[in-house]
């Protein structure tokens, strides 16, 4: 294929992301992991599905960064996941070290790539990736808002008994307990959801959305969500690789937008071949703005625990 994508971390999210990208024929895929045999086994198994599924994308698994050379997009899913009762911040130190190492290796071989970060705690890992790579903010993007919005959309569609495709939602802020779902920018076939559901029900669905990751972790007992996360990563990857210029909530490094400076936070961005091509500044009420600011402060506090503020 014309494009090449490296997925670092061949665990649940990484392997499923590789599958979605290959099946959509977005790019050839290199799946990389530290554990010997896992990326090779999953990569080969996935490639062997291609004659049956009928997709034309090469997939290989490796531990060798030289195989990732000249990737257009590098997706970072390497890390450890939350166990029940563990917060995303508990993962902080371990995953910061892992993300730092993998980004350093990857950008040496693919200096022109766009980095799409998935590892938690998401907004802080984006900052680590930006610092280690030295890339401009356009080229270091985090996935969270598409997933959080997809969860909100799913719950709204279940509540209203309508097609999920009718529901469009916007969730801003950090990927954590302080995420900021925006009912005013959430619509069902163009109708603001605030006209369709009582505030009490909307509040309940927002609460479930905020808790969406933990809900799956508690059900699975070991491991965390991966079907919806990988679908969200694939949508962002497609917009970049095909230069679709979709507007998607993504974690971006703000430099004064929304009155926030020097921190990664979820905001609506236009994603195209250049990575982040525009950060959209939508109008927020006083309450929404203060929720976004306190979410940014949460991210900043986590960054300072890491000694990176
Ligand atoms: O919305 C979001 N951003 C998220 C984030 C949604 C879902 C998952 N989210 C986070 O992604 C999650 O909290 C984790 O931090 C990552 C990956 O989740 P996944 O469910 O895929 O975790 P796994 O199955 O444990 O896979 C992680 C893999 C595993 O195979 C490890 O061997 C590998 O990462 N790993 C490494 N690969 C390469 N290099 C190094 N150093 C390394 N360390 C671990």
Q: How many domains does the chain have?
A: 2
Could you tell me if 183 and 236 lie in one domain?
yes
pLDDT at 119: 96
- Gyration radius of the chain's alpha carbons: 19
pTM: 0.97
Compute the distance between CA of residue 29 and CA of residue 1 in angstroms, rounded to an integer: 9
User: Which residue among 112, 142, 172 closes a domain?
Assistant: 142
Pocket of ligand 1 (CB under 6 A): 8-14, 33-35, 77-79, 81-82, 95, 98, 101-102, 118-120, 122, 143-144, 147, 175, 223-226, 229
The residue count of the chain comes to 309
pLDDT in tens, 5-63: 999 999 999 999 999 999 999 999 999 999 999 999 999 999 999 999 999 999 999 99
- Residues 249/266, Cβ–Cβ less than 8 Å: yes
Please report how many Cα atoms fall inside a 13 Å half-sphere around the Cα of residue 90, on the Cβ side. 8
Residue closest by Cα to atom 35 of ligand 1:
78
pLDDT in tens, 91-137: 899 999 999 999 999 999 999 999 999 999 999 999 999 999 999 99
Could you tell me if 195 and 113 lie in one domain?
no
Rounded to the nearest angstrom, the distance between the alpha carbon of 283 and the centre of ligand 1 is 35
- Residues 265/295, Cβ–Cβ less than 8 Å: yes
CATH (domain of 134):
3.40.50.720
Q: What angle do CA 119, 293, 199 make, to 5 degrees?
A: 95
Q: Which residues contact 303 (CB under 8 A, 6 or more apart)?
A: 124, 127, 263, 309
Task: Tell me the catalytic residues.
Answer: 175
């Amino acid at each position: 294929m014309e494009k090449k994508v490296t997925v670092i971390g061949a665990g649940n999210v990484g392997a499923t992301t590789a599958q979605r990208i290959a099946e959509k024929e977005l790019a050839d895929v290199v799946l990389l992991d530290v554990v010997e045999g896992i990326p090779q086994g999953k990569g080969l198994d996935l490639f062997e599905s291609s004659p049956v599924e009928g997709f034309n994308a090469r997939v290989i698994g490796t531990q060798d960064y030289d195989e990732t050379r000249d990737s257009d997009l590098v997706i970072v899913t390497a890390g450890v996941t939350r166990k029940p009762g563990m917060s995303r911040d508990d993962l902080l130190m371990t995953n910061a070290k892992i993300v730092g190492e993998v980004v350093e290796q990857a950008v040496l071989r693919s200096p022109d790539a766009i980095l799409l970060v998935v590892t938690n705690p998401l907004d802080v890992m984006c900052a680590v990736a930006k610092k280690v790579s030295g890339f401009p903010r356009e080229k270091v993007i985090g996935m969270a808002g598409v997933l959080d919005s997809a969860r909100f959309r799913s719950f709204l569609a279940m509540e209203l008994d309508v097609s999920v495709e009718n529901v469009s939602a916007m969730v801003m802020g950090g990927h954590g307990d302080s995420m900021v779902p925006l009912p005013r920018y959430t619509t069902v076939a163009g109708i603001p959801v605030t006209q369709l559901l009582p505030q009490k029900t909307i509040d309940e669905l927002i609460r479930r959305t905020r808790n969406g990751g933990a809900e799956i972790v508690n059900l699975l007992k070991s491991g965390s969500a991966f079907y919806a996360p990988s679908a969200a990563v694939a949508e962002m990857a497609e917009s970049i690789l095909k230069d679709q210029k979709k507007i998607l909530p993504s974690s971006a490094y703000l430099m004064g937008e929304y009155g926030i400076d020097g921190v990664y936070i979820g905001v609506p961005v236009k994603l195209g071949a250049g990575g982040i091509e525009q950060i959209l500044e939508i109008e927020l009420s006083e309450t929404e703005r203060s929720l976004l600011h306190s979410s940014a402060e949460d991210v900043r506090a986590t960054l300072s625990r890491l000694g990176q503020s």
